[in-house]
């Protein structure tokens, strides 16, 4: 039993390392092909500067936190086979609620006591937006894949309008499409520590929900089969609504943290790297286990950080990162394929 577990971890590790190498290799290759930058040089630069240096690790944290929070929420959705792909919109809505409340509060006070309120506003915004696909599914039988995807675009356009040239939140003193900045007192204090602490607390709460509450029990029954859930008398509708609110709330929290700790304003480029879609892969990688999520988030965060770094050294446009993200997913998926073969090689079965 113990050795099998060890073998499992080892084969997983090998798969991810190979996938990681393939993705970085393909990224370096395309830069080499188009710009003639030596791929080994760019690879070594990525390893030493972007991934293993102090600053590199810090910037990885900035990707790790939203990816983990969103992945946590989506893991719950996928456990119940609720195919929510709207974390992107939910994150944006959380950011909009946070920013709106912050702009409103600056009329009355600059006290940093407002920060917890702003975080709660983010959770409320995300949860409200996450409720929509759940309610549409329960009341109107609308496929959540469709509705949550469409809502992502609605959220993006709403955000763009808010900070557009004629938009209500546009900072006229800035040439960029962005809102008024937050006052310094509203920044999240001790940003890196607070970010990690909030993430860990979220993981603990969700693990508790999984293992110690009737919500988690029902989730387990639903994940094995809907029929079993029906026999057990579980109210699937209510469960879907709760799942929608919880996963939306987590994505909204990620949006609020992005505003309060990192961006300090709402810009039209907010969520330029599609955290919501990356979170889907984080949830899938972790096989919906809440504790593995942080490792999956770490892996994905590191890769994205590496991709950003490749983009920066080669001077190509940010679209390179999307290409890179897609390559990462596909290489991880493809290497999942060889896992059974690997297990046979290691003589586990």
Binding site for other proteins (CB under 8 A): 34-35, 83, 85, 136, 140-143, 145-147, 149-151, 153-154, 157-158, 160-161, 164, 166-167, 274, 277, 280-281, 284, 316-317, 319-327, 329-330, 333-334, 336-337
User: Closest approach of Cβ 347 to other proteins, in Å?
Assistant: 24
Task: Compare residues 258 and 314 and give the one whose CB is closer to other proteins.
Answer: 314
- Toward other proteins, which CB reaches closer, 32 or 215? 32
Q: Which is nearer to other proteins, 189 or 326 (CB)?
A: 326
How many C-beta neighbours within 10 Å does residue 28 have?
Answer: 22
DSSP 12-76: HHHHHHHHHHHHHHHHHHHHHHHH---HHHHHHHIIIIIISSHHHHHHHHHHHHHHHHHHHHHHH
CB of 203 to other proteins, least distance (A): 23
| Paired residues of 179 in beta bridges | 170
CB of 282 to other proteins, least distance (A): 12
Q: Which whole-number Å values give the CA distances from 182 to 66, 99, 100, 101, in the listed order?
A: 20, 8, 11, 11
The full length of the chain comes to 349
Q: Which is nearer to other proteins, 199 or 314 (CB)?
A: 314
Q: Which is nearer to other proteins, 157 or 208 (CB)?
A: 157
Least CB distance from residue 231 to other proteins, whole Å?
Answer: 22
Q: How far is the CB of 139 from other proteins (least distance, A)?
A: 8
Which CB sits closer to other proteins, 115 or 266? 266
Token code pair at residue 289: 């286990």
For the bound state, the minimum distance from the C-beta of residue 335 to other proteins, rounded and expressed in Å, comes to 11
As measured in angstroms, the least distance from the Cβ of 61 to other proteins is 23
Question: Is the torsion defined by CA of 68, 74, 75, 76 positive or negative?
Answer: positive
Least distance between other proteins and beta carbon 39 (Å): 16
Place of tokens 């593995």: 292
For residue 181, what are the CA distances in angstroms to 113, 187, 189, 232? 18, 10, 16, 52
CB of 157 to other proteins, least distance (A): 4
CA-to-CA separations, 173 to 2, 178, 313, in angstroms, rounded: 62, 10, 31
Structure-token match 């943290």, residue found: 257
Q: Which is nearer to other proteins, 80 or 202 (CB)?
A: 80
- Residue 174 and residue 167: Cα distance in Å, rounded? 13
Q: What is the dihedral of CA 116, 119, 121, 124, to 10 degrees?
A: -120
Q: Which is nearer to other proteins, 1 or 175 (CB)?
A: 175
DSSP-assigned states of every residue in 216-247? HHHHHHHHH-HHHHHHTT--HHHHHHHHHHHH
Nearer of residues 21 and 35 to other proteins, judged by Cβ:
35
């Amino acid at each position: 039993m113990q050795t099998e577990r060890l073998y499992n971890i080892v084969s997983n590790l090998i798969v991810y390392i190979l996938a990681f190498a393939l993705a970085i290799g393909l990224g370096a290759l395309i830069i080499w092909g188009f710009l003639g930058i030596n791929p080994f040089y760019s690879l070594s630069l990525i390893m030493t500067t972007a991934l293993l240096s102090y600053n590199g690790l810090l910037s990885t944290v900035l990707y790790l936190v939203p990816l983990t929070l969103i992945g946590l929420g989506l893991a719950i959705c996928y456990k119940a086979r609720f195919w929510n792909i709207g974390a992107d919109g939910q994150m944006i809505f959380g950011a909009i609620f946070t920013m709106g409340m912050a702009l409103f509060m600056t009329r009355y006070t600059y006290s940093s006591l407002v920060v917890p309120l702003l975080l709660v506003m983010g959770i409320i915004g995300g949860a409200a937006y996450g409720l929509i696909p759940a309610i549409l599914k329960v009341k109107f039988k609308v496929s959540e894949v469709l509705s949550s995807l469409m809502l992502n675009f609605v959220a993006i356009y709403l955000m763009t309008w808010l900070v557009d040239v004629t938009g209500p939140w546009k900072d006229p003193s800035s040439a960029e499409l962005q809102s008024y900045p937050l006052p310094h007192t509203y920044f999240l204090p001790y940003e890196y520590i607070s970010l990690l602490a909030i993430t860990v607390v979220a993981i603990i709460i969700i693990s508790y929900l999984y293992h110690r509450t009737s919500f988690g029990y029902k989730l387990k029954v639903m994940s094995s089969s809907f029929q079993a859930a029906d026999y057990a008398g579980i109210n699937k509708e209510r469960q879907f609504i709760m799942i929608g609110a919880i996963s939306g709330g987590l994505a909204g929290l990620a949006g609020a943290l992005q505003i309060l700790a990192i961006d300090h304003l709402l810009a039209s480029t907010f969520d330029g790297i599609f955290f919501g879609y990356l979170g889907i892969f984080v949830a899938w990688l972790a096989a919906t286990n809440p504790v593995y999520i942080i490792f999956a988030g770490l892996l994905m965060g590191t890769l994205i950080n590496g991709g950003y770094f490749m983009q920066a050294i080669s001077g190509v446009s940010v679209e390179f990162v999307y290409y890179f993200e897609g390559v990462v997913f596909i290489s991880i998926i493809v290497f999942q394929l060889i896992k059974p073969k690997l297990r046979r090689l290691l003589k586990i079965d």
